[in-house]
Structure 1
Amino acid sequence: MTDRNPPRARRAGPRLCAASAVLLATAACSGYEPAHHTDVVSHTDAHGAACTTVAVWKPGGQTVPRETESSTDCAFPPGGERPAEDDRRPLPDPAPRREWGWTALLTFTDAHGRACTLAATLLGSGAVDETALDCDYPPPGASPGADTRTDPPDPDPDSDDYRIEVASFTDAHGRACTTTTSKAAVILTGGGSEIDLTCSYPEGGGAAAQPSERPLPG
């Protein structure tokens, strides 16, 4: 979806400096506060499910770092397997020299071996404002795809940004994914956009249809 009415923060904000595993440019190149970092944290919940959380945090100087945004996906391992041990690592960025867009889709494999896709929305300063995460254990005979970072699909650049837009596409893991994106707050108040994401492996394998987009019915 084309951002024909970018928020004021974006128009006035600086270009983002490229940085591996960091979603905010450093203060030296952006003029904003110190970097917000994004970590992928794999853990086991109290039910025994394998969970992964994307945690956005801002260094706190002499104080404890502040965690400002998160999203979580959990599932029970197949065949009685055990989840991985607790693991925390920076969000992988396969294209560290390429500037971040206003929103981004990233695919990666978590510590449990699950195929994950993350939708990240940025503020005008470059700090992560929102994340949406979806992970799945690959079906038998399949493996997660490569780490990627791309712009969200925009099959209909002339769509109505006042409507919630539903985009369907195939991610780098071969999963059928759907996003819902709202940009009304961007247009009406200069605030940020909102995006949510859900993915799943198609029944019986096979690729999903070409990317498509439509407004939410109603």
Structure 2
Amino acid sequence: MAKQFDCQFIPAEKLAGYASFLDDCSKQVIDNLLWSSNGYFPTVKFSMAYTDHGILLKYFVKEKYVMARHTQVNDLVYKDSCVEFFLSFDNGSNYYNLEFNCIGTPYGAYGSVKPYRAELPANVVKQIKIDTQVINADDEGFTEWEITLGIPFSVFIYDDIDSLKGTECKANFYKCGDETPEPHYLSWNNILSDEPNFHVPEFFGMVKFV
């Protein structure tokens, strides 16, 4: 059974402190470890809300190997310590994938499954407000980092979105690090696939904007 959760609305008067609001929101766990032979299992959670103008999303990550080599918009950030958000407004036929490494370098694309996808223009991806925080490693060598994202509706250029209230969208949330010392793939909603592939909208869960 696919996962689902209710995404809460934040009124304008509370937007000034939305990062702390997301700290206090109920968190979803990205807890499906996929295609793993080493058992390495970072701890990843996220919280999400929405406003009159966009989506707010915050990831909370604890992992052993924090790596960021890609610094330009639409670089291949999935090779670094990376979190991802895939969202469809048409029941999975087409979807946006937004990806961010631990220093906040963004990547965005849209379309149906590979290879029928197109990168979002850099000037569109740059509209996403990104704030990152890396916390020092603990005694066991694990580092915590957080990334807060403000994604305006204008990023969804292939859809005419002026409000999400009362809608349901298909989505999935991921953590990966293809070229880190211990490559890993985690998903919020489970994926049944023999090979590493996040581009499987049939395995998206559901987000209800209440």
Q: TM-score range by the shorter chain?
A: under 0.3
Q: Which has the higher contact order (CA 8 A, sep 6+)?
A: 2
**TM-score, reference length from structure 2:** 0.28
**TM-score, reference length from structure 1:** 0.27
